[in-house]
Amino acid sequence: MTILRQKEYPEGRFTLAFLGYGDESKHTAIELTYNWDTDKYDLGNAFGHIAIEVEDVYKSCEEFRFKGAKITREAGPMKHGGSILAFMEDPDGYKIELLSPKRSD
């Protein structure tokens, strides 16, 4: 995998890096988050969530909610960026982020 894109969010004190095997419009990518003020991760707290890109975050939340999913953060703009996102939980309580398609900066 190679780094496809990376962006720092000074106000939120984190960096996002997206890794993959090719263009994100044709290949899967994984998002890694580096939290600037965290100097140690313990087994069990190093995994936060998985993110899935969807065409329309608002519509996806409604569709998942209708099917019984627990939405834990309603669709809306990212606090320290421009993406639209939401969070839901899988049946075991793990977080799943629903993320709008990337925009050209």
Side-chain-side CA neighbours of 102 within 13 Å: the count stands at 16
Question: pLDDT at residue 105 above 80?
Answer: no
Q: Long-range contact list for 76-84, CB < 8 A, 24+ apart?
A: 79/12, 80/9, 80/11, 80/12, 80/14, 81/7, 81/9, 84/57, 84/58
With cut-offs at 50, 70 and 90, classify the pLDDT of residue 101: confident
Question: pLDDT at residue 52 above 90?
Answer: no
pLDDT of residue 103: 63
pLDDT of residue 1: 87
CATH number, domain 49-105, options 1.10.10.1150, 3.40.50.11540, 3.10.180.10, 2.40.50.140: 3.10.180.10
> What are the residue numbers of the active site?
97
Question: pLDDT at residue 81 above 80?
Answer: no
Instruction: Please tell me whether residue 60 adopts helix, strand or coil conformation.
Output: helix
Full-prediction pTM beyond 0.85? no
pLDDT of residue 45: 67
